[in-house]
Amino acid sequence: MTISLERLRRCTIAVDLGAARTRVYLKRTGLIVDEPTVAAVNIRTGGLIGVGALAERMTGRTPPHIRVVRPVAGGRVVDIAMAQRMLRFLVGNKLRRAWRRKALPSAAVCVPHDADPLAQRAAVETLTGLGARRVELVDTLLAAAVGCGLPVERPEATMIVVCGAATTQVAVLSLGSIVAAERVPVGGETIDHAVVQHVRNEHALMLPSQAVHPLHLALAGAGPSVDDTEVHGRDVATGLARSVRIDIEGIRAVVRTPLTGVLDAVGAVLRRCPPDLVADLAERGIMLAGGSAVLPGFDSLLREATGMPLHIADRPDTCAVEGLGAMLEGKLRPVVLDPLAS
């Protein structure tokens, strides 16, 4: 995927359609949307009932005629029509004003580095359906690296790990391009799933989706109790409501298991890099980004496994869209590779 900074500068909006959250950056304004990628639909009438945070609150609590859908999964738009309806609703008036100023503007959207042509097409169609005249595709890893303030345009290695909801992407970049990259289907959702399974096996309790968050807080030592936390759910056998106290040390071990997939990806990327770049990384270290970067213990796990310095981005969750925004605003210096004058 080659990007043209010139064409990106002509774009008005930057969109990051994540499996968990949708973020929209409007040129000269900043981040205008940061909402869950969720829509609630009345399946009798086909009408949209709610999108974003409102729809997320309805998850698992709907009567049969209301369905909560997630139009993005595994780094790709799986329901283009629903993604367009959701975006139109989320962006609403804020975008229409920009649209009026400059009819049919161009848009930039980030996609995973190994997105196949169908996934790329789905991202383009989602935006063209909203009225974008041109759609520029940018690698999420490059956008996130720029958003974290990494000097991607220099001839030295920078390594980034973006751990989102559905996937984790790892890359080494140099001279404005990706040298080696990997994507593994491990993210916040996988970790939450592992926690839910653990509680089900250990306590015969089905946890509601919202119950995992207090456990994350307890892991970070920010919850009401650091040693054990009470959660409410449904008994697997009787179906009745029940509460149990969860041992946080057990959760800590459960959370580590899926993260080994990320360690394997980091190792695979490093093995594919020339030694000069790996030597750069020993000094500079790894930048950790994505919403799951703040998962307690993730940074220390990576630090122990690689022996390299590790930094968590200032705003790990929004760095991809902020980086895309920086490219739109012309803040990224182009890599000049002119042949030497003879």
Ligand X SMILES: Nc1ncnc2c1ncn2[C@@H]1O[C@H](COP(=O)(O)OP(=O)(O)OP(=O)(O)O)[C@@H](O)[C@H]1O
Cβ proximity to ligand X: between 12 and 292 the closer is: 292
The one of ligand X, Mg ion, none whose footprint includes residue 19, by CB under 5 to 8 A per kind, is: ligand X
- In the complex, the residues that contact ligand X under the rule CB under 6 A are 18-21, 75, 164-167, 187-189, 192, 216, 290-292, 294-295, 317
Cα 306 to the center of its chain, rounded Å: 23
**CB neighbours (10 Å) of residue 273?**
18
Q: Which is nearer to ligand X, 189 or 322 (CB)?
A: 189
Cβ-based neighbour number of residue 339 at 10 Å: 5
Closer Cβ to Mg ion, 164 or 233, answer by number: 164
We find the least distance from the C-beta atom of residue 119 to ligand X, in angstroms, to be 12
Annotated binding residue 167:
yes
Number of H helices, E strands in the chain: 11, 18
Structure tokens that stand for 171 in this block:
């890359």
260 is in an annotated binding site: no
d(CA 330, CA 5): 8
Q: Is 323 in the site for Mg ion (CB under 5 A)?
A: no
Task: Closer to ligand X by CB, 18 or 233: give it.
Answer: 18
Binder of residue 112, out of ligand X, Mg ion, none (CB less than 5 to 8 A by kind): none
Contact call for residue 164 and Mg ion (CB under 5 A): yes
CB of 273 vs Mg ion, minimal distance in Å: 23
60 burial via Cβ count (<10 Å: 0-12, 13-18, 19+):
exposed
What number of residues does the chain have? 342
Tell the smallest beta-carbon distance from residue 314 to ligand X (Å): 14
Give 164 or 176: the residue with its C-beta nearer to Mg ion. Answer: 164
Out of 8, 14, 17, 18, name the contact with Mg ion by CB under 5 A: 18
What's phi and psi for 185, nearest 5 deg? -80, 55
Look at residues 276, 279, 223 and name the one whose alpha carbon lies nearest to residue 252: 223
Least separation in angstroms between residue 164's CB and Mg ion is 4
Give me the least distance between CB of 159 and ligand X, in Å please: 18
- The residue type found at 82 is M
Q: Judge whether 229 is annotated as a binding position.
A: no
Which residue(s) pair with 110 in the sheet? 138
Instruction: Dihedral sign for Cα 16, 94, 325, 130, please.
Output: positive
Query: Which residues participate in the annotated binding site for ATP?
Result: 165-167
Query: Which residues participate in the annotated binding site?
Result: 165-167
Interface residues with Mg ion (CB under 5 A) are 18, 164
